[in-house]
A and B are shown apart, each in its own frame.
Chain A
Amino acid sequence: KNEVEQSPQNLTAQEGEFITINCSYSVGISALHWLQQHPGGGIVSLFMLSSGKKKHGRLIATINIQEKHSSLHITASHPRDSAVYICAASGSARQLTFGSGTQLTVLP
């Protein structure tokens, strides 16, 4: 079974700071997903990647397959970025195994 670990569990930042959330997984995967869960509970997909780097606005996701590690970066953070960020690994069973999430709070 693939274990997915995220760090940190909680992160507080000042508006404008550069933020990094890390995700490690234990076995080979076919894709890594990053999700955002809003304070109201809704979940949206941010990225799905199997190699390299993807960028969308102020969000950047990277993955290192050899090191079994992915990072989510937020540049010029804003209070509206406050949410829970979840990584999830897609393995051989074509299902997602989820990390427990990182609670991000960005203060104005």
Chain B
Amino acid sequence: NAGVTQTPKFQVLKTGQSMTLQCAQDMNHNSMYWYRQDPGMGLRLIYYSASEGTTDKGEVPNGYNVSRLNKREFSLRLESAAPSQTSVYFCASSLSGTENYEQYFGPGTRLTVT
């Protein structure tokens, strides 16, 4: 099992460009999450999907959109990148809600917006 995979690993964008971060899991998990991690701050939830076909905003959703393409895949799109979106992005999955199940994290995508 590959677990949770993310592509790309690194990306540099110019302000205003768009891109999609891809995430896939092969553990048959229902819930998937996108987080960003900034220096000196904890991980913050951008969007999550409790199950296939549903998505909900997290703590910092502005400037992002998501798609739960199927049970395996959950993508994060930046429509018009801004320097404030420079961060490390982690995708995670869990069998179901965080009250009962641990989360499995992808390796992260380091994004720089210039």
For the complex, give the distance between the alpha carbons of A50 and B102 in Å: 12
If over half of A's interface residues share one DSSP class (helix, strand or loop), that class is named, otherwise mixed; here it is strand
B53 contacts partner chain A, Cβ-Cβ < 8 Å: no
A48:B102 contact, CB within 8 angstroms: yes
A-B contact pairs, 11 of them (CB 8 A): A30-B98, A30-B100, A43-B105, A45-B103, A48-B102, A50-B99, A86-B43, A94-B99, A95-B98, A100-B40, A100-B41
A33:B103 contact, CB within 8 angstroms: yes
Q: Which of A35, A42, A98 is close to B107, meaning CB atoms less than 8 Å apart?
A: A42
A31:B99 contact, CB within 8 angstroms: yes
Which residues of A59-108 have CB atoms within 8 Å of chain B's CB atoms? 86, 88, 90, 94-101
For the complex, give the distance between the alpha carbons of A106 and B90 in Å: 26
Chain A nearest Cβ from B48, distance in angstroms:
7
Mark contacts of B75-114 with chain A using CB atoms, 8 A cut-off: 1 yes-contact digit, 0 otherwise. 0000000000000101010000111111111011000000
For the complex, give the distance between the alpha carbons of A99 and B42 in Å: 5
B13 contacts partner chain A, Cβ-Cβ < 8 Å: no
B90:A43 contact, CB within 8 angstroms: yes
A21 contacts partner chain B, Cβ-Cβ < 8 Å: no
B27 contacts partner chain A, Cβ-Cβ < 8 Å: no
A98:B101 contact, CB within 8 angstroms: no
